[in-house]
Structures are given as structure tokens and as C-alpha cells.
Amino acid sequence: MSKQVAVILSGCGVFDGAEINEVVLTLLRLEQQGAQYQCFAPDMAQHHVVNHITGEEMSETRNVLVEAARICRGAIKDVRELDVTAFDALILPGGFGVAKNLSDFAFKGAECRVQADVLAALKAFAAAGKPVGLECIAPALAAKVFGAGVVCTIGNDADTAAAVEASGAQHQACVVSDIVEDAQCKLVTTPAYMLAGSILEASQGINKLVDRVLALA
């Protein structure tokens, strides 16, 4: 029987939502490895909308769930419907949406709060001893889920690593092509576009993360 993986998205677009390449690479690798997945996102307004050509904020409002649906061709559910008993593992791709929509890490750093429904889902997997994969900036939420001492990586950015450690996690420097695993927590992390200069580079660590999460499931 194929393994079932929940994937939580944070919108659509690197600057205000989920990093699209990371999501597609994750879903592709899951299929390549014979796993099945279901995408989820919170039904809430985005923090803001960014013009991805100019980088400037736009005067409009968008919904995280509706925008995330663009990436997975509409096959998505409200994260409040995520039942941990129906899945073997959970993966959270990165993008600024993780730090702006799923949490306020972009604004409060170590003192951030995670969106309640997303936090509940992540904690449910942790409590059940089921593996979790966090990509790119998503490991910044690790201590909020697993508690102080959890080992993770966002790559090698000194300021972000310092904020991750201030939150209670143990940060481990990592190259783009590799992963960091906290065996006790069954947490796997990879830098992805925190370091990647291309989709090919991003795929190396993401493929390893997906493979390891499935092996742990």
C-alpha cells in the first residue's frame, strides 16, 4: 500500500506564498517514489500581495487556500480537515508565505507565532511520532512544534540561523544538496531556495528530504 503524505502550502508565489518550484519538486518526487499526497492550506487572507515582477506590494487581498489551489490544480483542502490518522507523514515547502501567512516569523523572528490550525496539524504529527519534512524557511517553525533542542537547518544564513536558535532550536549548517535529520523528532530539513541558485540545485536536497521522510514513515 502506498504511503500517504500531507503537504501544507502557504499560498502561491515565493514572495507572498509558497515557493512554487519547491512545491512542484516535492509533489513530483512523492509520485516518483510511489507515494500519494493531499495538499492543504489555511482558509485565510494573505498577509499581503506582492508583484513578483517589481517586488512591490499590491493593493489587493487574496486568500491563502484559493491561491495555493493554483499550484495543485485545485486538489486542495482546508488544513482544518487534515486528519493525522489518515497520513503517514507531512511535508511543508517553503516560500515567504510560511513566514508571513503560516506564521509571523518574517516580522517577529524568534518570538513568532504559528497560525493555529497549521500548528495543530504539525503538532499532531509530532505527537503521533510521524515524520515531518520542512523545506527552505519552514524549519524556522521547528521549535514551535517540537520544542527546545530540536535540530534543523535553513542553510547557512547567519541572521536567520540566529533567529532559529533564539527560538530554541539547534541550527546545523547545511549545503543545498543535503538534509539534516533530527532522529528523535523524526524531523528532516533542507535549505532548498534558502541557498539554491536554480531549480536543479533545489531538487537535490528536496529529493533527499522526500526520500528520507518516506523511509521514516
What digits encode the pLDDT tens for the residues 6-54?
999 999 999 999 999 999 999 999 999 999 999 999 999 999 999 999 9
pLDDT of residue 1: 80
Would you call 136 a catalytic residue per the annotation? Answer: yes
Mean residue pLDDT across the chain: 97
Count how many Cα atoms sit within 13 Å of the Cα of residue 208 in the half-sphere of its side chain.
Answer: 18
Q: Topology of 4-216 in CATH?
A: Rossmann fold (3.40.50)
Closest CA to 145 of 180, 177, 189: 189
The catalytic position among 136, 152, 174, 185 is 136
CB of 52 within 8 A of CB of 15? yes
- pTM of model > 0.95: yes
How much of the chain, in percent, has pLDDT values that exceed 90? 99
What digits encode the pLDDT tens for the residues 146-168?
999 999 999 999 999 999 999 99
Rounded Cα gap, residues 95 and 116, in angstroms: 19
Phi and psi (nearest 5°) for 101? Answer: -105, -50
Q: Where are the domains of the chain?
A: 4-216
Q: Which three cell numbers, joined as nine digits, stand for 9?
A: 502550502
The H-or-E segment that residue 184 falls in is none
How many angstroms separate the Cα of 36 from the Cα of each of 27, 33, 86, 104, 118?
9, 9, 11, 30, 20
What digits encode the pLDDT tens for the residues 74-119?
999 999 999 999 999 999 999 999 999 999 999 999 999 999 999 9
